[in-house]
Amino acid sequence: MQRGERECFMRIAVFSDSHGVKEPMLAAIEEQKPDMVLHLGDYVRDAEAIAAYFPSLDLRYVRGNCDAYSRSDAEENLLFNADGVRIFMTHGHRYNVKLGYESLANAAHFSGAQLALFGHTHEADFLRMGDVTLFNPGSAGMGRQTYGMITMKGTEFKCEILSL
């Protein structure tokens, strides 16, 4: 890198299972200033509050098991590319992640994703299964109150668990 050049990274904040606790997420977004925010469900209305507070933010979200009666048109799964990485995001309940991650890893693999993001367990986790990296940011609203930060450069990415 030459003098005066800056490395270009994309930073993605990942929240899940906020269950109505919005303020710590809003504060983390304000402090971290991520390029994108993802919310993995429970509650969709919390993601909608983020959208209202940060209207120009690139925000994507899916519904969780506690969003069954939400009027939101949020999908249960999203698949998209971010800075060269194919990402599969879901809440996780449809893949029985409390019993194991095989079903989720298979769905992500067959969708062509390198990274699968999920919640539902309220426990932060990060592991690799086959050619897919699985990342659960934990619960933003209950227990330890954590979230994830993904730093990407091209097809390389690093996942961190941070406290709210």
Domain annotation covers residue 90: yes
**Rounded CA separation 3/48 (Å):** 41
Determine the average pLDDT of the residues in 78-87: 96
User: Sign of the C-alpha dihedral, residues 45, 54, 154, 148?
Assistant: negative
Give kind and range of the element (H or E) at residue 148.
strand 146-153
Domain annotation covers residue 27: yes
Structure tokens at 112: 């062509």
**Rounded CA separation 18/110 (Å):** 29
Contact by Cβ (8 Å): 104, 90: yes
What does the DSSP assignment read for 100-119? -SHHHHHHHHHTT-SEEE--
Which phi and psi (to 5°) does residue 14 adopt?
Answer: -125, 120
Domain annotation covers residue 116: yes
Domain annotation covers residue 5: no
Domain annotation covers residue 33: yes
Q: Share the mean pLDDT of the chain.
A: 95
Model confidence band, residue 69 (pLDDT cutoffs 50, 70, 90): confident
Strands (E), 4-84: 10-15, 36-39, 58-61, 77-82
| Tens digit of each residue's pLDDT (9 = 90 or more) over 89-115 | 999 999 999 999 999 999 999 999 999
Domain annotation covers residue 4: no
Q: What domain range is 149 assigned to? A: 10-163
Which pLDDT score is estimated for 62?
Answer: 98
Q: Is the pLDDT of residue 34 over 80?
A: yes
Contact by Cβ (8 Å): 29, 22: no
How many domains does the chain contain in total?
1
Which pLDDT score is estimated for 70?
Answer: 87
Domain annotation covers residue 55: yes
**Rounded CA separation 58/62 (Å):** 14
Determine how β-strand 115-117 pairs with β-strand 85-90: parallel
- Domain CATH code at residue 112: 3.60.21.10
